[in-house]
Amino acid sequence: MDWPISEVARMSGVTARTLRHYDEIGLLAPARIGAGGLRYYEERQLLRLQQVLVLRALGVGLPEIGRILADQVDEVEALRGHRRRLLAERDRLDALAGTVSRTISELEQSRKDGGHMTEINRPENLFEGVRPSQYEESLRDFPEHAAEVTRRVSVMTQRDIEAGQRQRTAQMVRLAELMAAGLPADAGPVQAEVDAQYRALSELRTVSAGEYAALGRSCVDNEQWRAAYESIAPGLALYQRDAIEAYVASLPD
Mean pLDDT of all residues belonging to the chain: 77
Pick 100 or 230 by higher pLDDT.
230
How would residue 124 be classed by pLDDT, with cut points 50, 70 and 90?
A: very low
Q: What is the mean pLDDT of residues 238-252?
A: 90
- Top CATH class of 3-72 equals mainly alpha
Q: What is the pLDDT of residue 240?
A: 92
Averaged pLDDT for residues 65-92: 74
Amino acid 184: pLDDT: 92
- CATH 1.10.490.50 range(s) for the chain read 133-253
- pLDDT at residue 128 above 60? no
Q: Is 128 helix (H, G, I), strand (E, B) or coil?
A: coil
Which range is most confident: 53-67, 85-99, 159-173, 178-192? 178-192
- Among the ranges given (13-17, 31-35, 130-134), the one the predictor scored with the smallest mean pLDDT: 130-134
For the stretch 129-151, pLDDT in tens is: 444 444 444 555 566 666 666 66
Listed ranges 47-51, 54-58, 189-193; the one with the highest mean pLDDT = 189-193
Between 51 and 205, the higher pLDDT residue: 51
Average pLDDT (3-15) is 90
Q: Fold for domain 133-253?
A: Globin-like (1.10.490)
| Sheet (strand 39-41) strand order | 3-4, 39-41, 32-33
| Closest by Cα among 130, 59, 60, 145 to 95 | 130
- Is it the case that residue 242 has pLDDT exceeding 90? yes
Q: Between these two residues, 234 and 241, which has the higher pLDDT value?
A: 241
Of 101, 106, 55, nearest to 233 by C-alpha is 101
Rounded Cα distance, 247 and 184, in Å: 12
Rounded to whole angstroms, the Cα distance separating 241 from 238 reads 5
Q: Which of 43-52, 78-87, 143-152, 240-249 has the highest mean pLDDT?
A: 240-249
- Quick check: 164 pLDDT over 50? yes
Check whether 49 has a pLDDT greater than 60. yes
CA distances from residue 2 to 16, 30, 44, 161 in whole angstroms, order as listed: 16, 10, 10, 47
Q: Is residue 104 pLDDT above 50, yes or no? A: yes
The CA-atom distances, in angstroms, between 171 and each of 67, 78, 194 are 34, 37, 9
Residue limits of CATH 1.10.1660.10 in the chain? 3-72
